Amino acid sequence: MKIADIEVAWIQLPLAEGRGLSGGPITHSTDVLCRVTTTDGVEGIGEARGAPLPMISSAIDEVLRPLLQGQDPAATQHLWTKMAQALLDEEGKPRHAPWTRNACLGAIAAVDLALWEIKAKVASLSVCRLLGGHPRPMRAYCSAGFLTDGQPVDQMARETLEEMKERGFRATKIRVGRGGPEVSAARVQAMREILGAAGQIMVDANQAWSTEEAIEHAKAMEPYDLTWLEEPLSSPGRPHRGTKEIRDWDAETGRLAASTRIPIASGENHVTLAETRDLVDKGGVRYVQFDCIKNGGLTEFAKVAAYCEATGVLLAPHHVPHFHVQIAAAFPQTAWIEVFDNFKQHVAWLDLFPGYPETKDGHIEVLDRPGWGFELNEPFLKERGTLVHWRS
């Protein structure tokens, strides 16, 4: 059995209302879709995000498709290395303009995920079982509490609670990162008061602050018993709203972690095993949020998971739960899966992926069917998406 073809398309649909983060609103639901087909007719699906969709798609179509045709789809580590060497140089920089590093890693992720589904389907196993895991409902939190200009904090808290009640969530993540420490504290206080002492609250600053600012905000939020504070510091090369650039992101994250009793979560933008290692070693994080959809796929995720287990750090993968839940369920240190109100934020997913895993009683199911467990609605993709290379 060999790789016969690699198809790629992308889809971007507008949201009815923007979902505000510290740096601005999310306005679209965006996904790159990749399908790998073997000479025996077995198909695997992968997905990517985190960079311009046409850029990810062209990297797959122009470099990875001709590179991998005729190769053994079971050789995931070997093929991962071939893809990385074709797209990135020895320093991890893109070999081809105008593709960015994130676009290259997204392209690798989409193909890698599709290859793993092929292996699972050939074995007649779910991806979770293929990795040695046991499919069972995984604890999830409701990713909500977005920043809306002029919205009172009590309204934000009520709307978040309504989202939680729909599927029985006992934990939620809300957004902070605009305004001073008193604004962050007010948002958290409102959520705590409406949720009660038993519910769990995470906060995500989306890289809003300098270290000193983050310490001030953390101190203001400490009285409200937070499960974690996520990505509080601006990443290198990305100063936020006038914040000074932070040179050693991981070391400064560690300085913050030592200054607050709120556990720190990070890692969705640490795009390799080596970067995640530095985050764990220097950053003092309690939760690693590696995102295999953006950052190299399941092959890299498994290495990150092993390092986290060896160092006693918990996993809480970022975003795209329909893929991450299959993978994360195979690792014992997984703490949380991030789940959204897809009707508000990911308007393509339920139509695009028939059999999408359900969330109820605060847990998302792990589908015990071969591969990822869901299908691809090809007519919907052809109607609403952009086909880069897709058979008619």
pLDDT digits (tens, 9 = 90+) for 253-281: 999 999 999 999 999 999 999 999 999 99
pLDDT at 22: 86
Examine the pLDDT at 336 and tell me if it is beyond 80. Answer: yes
Cis preceding linkage at 98, omega within 30: yes
pLDDT at 18: 87
Q: How far is CA 36 from the centre of its chain?
A: 22
Examine the pLDDT at 372 and tell me if it is beyond 90. Answer: yes
Predicted confidence band of residue 238 (pLDDT cuts 50, 70, 90) = low
Residue (of 386, 381, 336, 326) closest to 356 by Cα position: 326
Residue (of 94, 26, 112, 11) closest to 57 by Cα position: 11
Predicted confidence band of residue 244 (pLDDT cuts 50, 70, 90) = low
What are the residue ranges spanned by the domains of the chain? 3-124+377-389, 130-364
In CATH, the number for domain 3-124+377-389 is 3.30.390.10
- Say if residues 297 and 108 touch (Cβ distance below 8 Å): yes
Q: How far is CA 47 from the centre of its chain?
A: 11
- Say if residues 362 and 337 touch (Cβ distance below 8 Å): no
Average pLDDT over every residue of 16-34: 90
Examine the pLDDT at 382 and tell me if it is beyond 70. Answer: yes
User: DSSP letter string over 76-101?
Assistant: HHHHHHHHHHHHB-TTS-BSSTT--H
43-57, 156-170, 241-255, range with the lowest pLDDT: 241-255
Predicted confidence band of residue 387 (pLDDT cuts 50, 70, 90) = very high
Average confidence score pLDDT of the chain: 95
Per-residue model confidence as pLDDT tens digits over 283-329 = 999 999 999 999 999 999 999 999 999 999 999 999 999 999 999 99
pLDDT at 240: 54
> What's this model's pTM, rounded to 2 decimal places?
0.96
pLDDT at 94: 96
pLDDT at 25: 87
Cα torsion 275, 280, 281, 284: sign:
positive
Q: How far apart are CA 222 and CA 217, in angstroms?
A: 9
Class of domain 130-364: alpha beta
State the residue for tokens 């979770």: 128
pLDDT at 55: 98
Predicted confidence band of residue 235 (pLDDT cuts 50, 70, 90) = confident
Per-residue model confidence as pLDDT tens digits over 62-79 = 999 999 999 999 999 999
Q: Which two tokens stand for residue 215?
A: 């310490």
Q: How far apart are CA 11 and CA 31, in angstroms?
A: 6
Percent of residues, the chain, with pLDDT higher than 70: 98
